[in-house]
Amino acid sequence: MKNLDVAHLVTGVTTEDDFDMAVAAYENGDFPSAAKLFQKLAEGGDQEAQINLARMILDGKAPGMDRQVAVDLLKKAEANGSDDAKDMLAGLN
């Protein structure tokens, strides 16, 4: 029996779709929507979403989120093996 993506069954949207929608929102200048989508993915452990949301925060494009949230996201991504997150953290010090 094929494994089903529970998130897809519940919401009708896969995390890949969410990521693509977040990127599209960002590229269209809809930063609040992009941040919300990246945050949802980041909370689920998506490294790229963690890094992208951290970049948005550090660039002032994620309303209501402060630098510490960005640092925490980067630490999570680094803990999961992201060299990009490691480099970004090093650049913050």
CATH number at residue 43: 1.25.40.10
Would residue 1 count as lying in a domain?
Answer: no
Would residue 70 count as lying in a domain?
Answer: yes
Grouping H, G, I as helix, E, B as strand and the rest as coil, residue 86 is helix
Would residue 24 count as lying in a domain?
Answer: yes
Would residue 21 count as lying in a domain?
Answer: yes
Vertex 51 angle, CA 58 and 40, to 5°? 100
Would residue 51 count as lying in a domain?
Answer: yes
The tens digit of pLDDT for each residue in 57-76 reads 999 999 899 999 999 999 99
> What is d(CA 31, CA 88) in angstroms, rounded to the nearest whole number?
21
Q: Across residues 76-90, what is the average pLDDT?
A: 95
pLDDT the model gives residue 93: 72
How many domains does the chain fold into?
Answer: 1
* 22 contacts 38 by C-beta, under 8 angstroms: yes
The tens digit of pLDDT for each residue in 2-51 reads 333 434 334 444 578 899 999 999 999 999 999 999 999 999 999 999 99
Phi-psi region of 24 (alpha: psi -120 to 50; beta: other; left: phi over 0): alpha
Structural domain including 73 reads 6-92
Would residue 18 count as lying in a domain?
Answer: yes
